[in-house]
């Protein structure tokens, strides 16, 4: 039985996918920005079912911004549009970081286990694509004006005196966002440079292009490949590269802006006419198509966790919001619980350090936690968040008089937390639940609490989730505990229980 691709292949935030094939395995790298560990590596046997197998780095840099201690953080920055290539027994991942004004190259001989070597070069090489060509190594990069920069033969540094020049100037007339997101390939004596652009005319959505030449330094011919939205909000399916499947077929792995859940990867078939790639079916991205690749079981990208660990190292599904403080969290201090201790003071969950996150997924998903708040100090806040720039949360607040309240809050105009509903709560333990819906026409989060985990009370109005360029990421479930007055308190979370829901409403539990 062969696999049938259904788009999107993952209804979750896996942006800027870059895919290679090695033998019968496909590997993907994706953008992770401010989430740590970063640059997730995923594996598949059929381009449909992807398993998270690791990360390229635990933390990218160690400074106040990356530790979320400067009042701004690196939201919308960090690692951008990573490129994955394999050559000469080495796997390479490269990307730029806007906040650091640096270009990073990581490499390993074992993509599934590492370790990864790190090499850093000054300056930005925007949306880079590595190209290994006849013993030389190049990075093709840029926005509008596309440049080519030569690296050393081991791809770990810029080559002194090497090629570093404008490669081509892409179209500007009637274009809002000029060509970027390069993916460079060679086939049958041609060089292919795949880009996206965003026109101001016509359908006015992102579309996929290719530039082709028989000489690396040009001149290049241009052709439009795909201008389609899969029927979703006029959001173009675009930006990515091609991969052969080892069976004679070709595919393009692209992505689509998909509302508050984030940017979702899609796969379209590729055929060839006169050495030009042809994307899709009848110039459209198909909702589904058959492949000759083997069927396999779907793999989750978000999962439940009972926090039953033998050491303080979490499962791969978890990422921290910015660099964590390892002194202030543990899954062994109280076995079977995630303990989050407060450190620096914070004005809201958006700037609270040691917030632990997982992706949300469409069409709907739900997460619940059991929070033990006995360790909270006055001014402490702990709970469960729908984390993005326009966040919403439900949790407990410890008051100065020793009392507690359960609150639902959203981001206020001043950037802090605006309480939408609050109720007194006397017990130490509380069950919290957050339901998300990402169906056509709505991006909604709803918040619930319970004293016994069976009878649930809705708290506050639904949150209208909105994807913004401030975070540049889809919504995530966030487990948080932070102080507003004094450090030293803590919260214990007994479990995180996750459900991906196929129907309209997330189920109780």
Contact call for residues 362 and 438 (beta carbons, < 8 A):
yes
User: CA angle, corner 498, sides to 496 and 502, nearest 5?
Assistant: 170
Contact call for residues 476 and 388 (beta carbons, < 8 A):
yes
- Those residues with Cβ within 8 angstroms of residue 239's Cβ, 6 or more apart along the chain or in another chain: 16, 181, 195, 196, 206, 208, 254, 255
3-state SS, residue 451 = coil
Chain mean position to CA 433: 23
Whether 51 is a known active-site residue: answer: no
Backbone dihedral region of 287: left (phi > 0), alpha (psi from -120 to 50 degrees) or beta?
Answer: alpha
Whether 101 is a known active-site residue: answer: no
Contact call for residues 502 and 398 (beta carbons, < 8 A):
no
Among all chains, which residue has been given the structure tokens 């984390």? 387
Strands 288-294 and 381-387: unpaired
Partner residues linked to 210 by β-bridges? 194, 223
DSSP 3-state percent helix, strand, coil across the chain (nearest 5): 0, 50, 45
Nearest to 31 by CA among 228, 229, 265: 265
Residues 183 and 232: their CA atoms lie apart, in Å, by 25
Residues 443 and 270: their CA atoms lie apart, in Å, by 32
Q: Which of 13, 49, 127, 180 is catalytic?
A: 180
Q: Which of 16, 361, 372, 380 is catalytic?
A: 16
Task: Give the count of beta carbons closer than 10 Å to the beta carbon of residue 335.
Answer: 11
Residues catalogued as catalytic: 16, 180
């Amino acid at each position: 039985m062969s696999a049938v691709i259904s788009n999107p292949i993952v209804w979750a935030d896996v942006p800027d996918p870059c895919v290679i094939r090695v033998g019968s395995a496909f590997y993907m790298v994706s953008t992770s920005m401010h989430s740590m560990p970063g640059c997730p590596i995923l594996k598949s046997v059929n381009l449909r079912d992807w398993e998270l197998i690791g990360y390229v780095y635990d933390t990218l840099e160690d400074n106040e911004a990356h530790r979320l201690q400067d009042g701004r953080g690196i939201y919308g920055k960090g690692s951008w549009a990573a490129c994955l290539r394999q050559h000469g027994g080495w796997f390479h991942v490269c990307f730029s970081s806007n906040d650091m004004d640096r270009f990073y190259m990581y490499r390993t001989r074992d993509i599934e286990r590492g370790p990864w070597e790190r090499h850093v070069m000054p300056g930005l090489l925007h949306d880079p694509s590595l190209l290994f060509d006849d013993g030389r190594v190049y990075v093709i990069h840029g926005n509008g004006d596309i440049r080519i920069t030569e690296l050393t033969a081991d791809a770990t540094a810029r080559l002194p005196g090497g090629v570093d020049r404008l490669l081509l100037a892409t179209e500007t007339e009637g274009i809002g966002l000029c060509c970027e997101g390069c993916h460079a390939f060679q086939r049958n004596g041609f060089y292919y440079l795949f880009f996206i652009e965003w026109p101001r005319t016509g359908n006015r959505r992102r579309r996929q292009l290719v530039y082709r030449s028989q000489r690396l330094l040009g001149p290049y011919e241009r052709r439009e490949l795909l201008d389609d939205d899969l029927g979703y909000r006029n959001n173009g399916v675009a930006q990515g590269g091609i991969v052969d499947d080892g069976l004679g077929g070709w595919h393009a792995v692209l992505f689509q802006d998909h509302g508050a859940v984030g940017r979702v990867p899609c796969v379209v078939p590729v055929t060839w006419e006169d050495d030009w790639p042809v994307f899709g079916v009848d110039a459209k991205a198909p909702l589904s198509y058959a492949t000759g690749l083997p069927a396999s079981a779907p793999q989750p990208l978000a999962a439940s966790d009972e926090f039953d660990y033998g050491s303080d190292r979490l499962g791969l599904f978890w990422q921290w919001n910015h660099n964590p403080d390892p002194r202030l969290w543990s899954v062994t201090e109280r076995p079977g619980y995630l303990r989050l201790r407060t450190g620096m003071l914070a004005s809201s969950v958006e700037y609270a350090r040691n917030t632990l996150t997982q992706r949300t997924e469409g069409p709907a998903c739900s997460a619940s936690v059991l929070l033990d708040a006995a360790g909270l100090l006055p001014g402490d806040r702990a709970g469960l968040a729908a984390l993005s720039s326009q966040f919403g949360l439900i949790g407990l607040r410890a008051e100065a008089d020793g009392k507690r309240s359960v609150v639902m809050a959203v981001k206020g105009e001043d950037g802090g937390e605006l309480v939408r509903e609050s109720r007194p709560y006397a017990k130490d333990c509380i069950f919290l639940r957050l339901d998300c819906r990402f169906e056509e026409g709505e991006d909604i989060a709803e918040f619930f609490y319970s004293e016994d985990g069976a009878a649930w009370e809705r708290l506050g109005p639904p949150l209208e989730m909105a994807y913004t360029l401030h975070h540049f990421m889809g919504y995530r479930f966030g487990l948080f505990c932070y102080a507003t007055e004094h450090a030293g308190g803590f919260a214990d979370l007994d479990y995180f229980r996750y459900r991906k829901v196929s129907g309209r409403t997330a189920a109780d539990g």
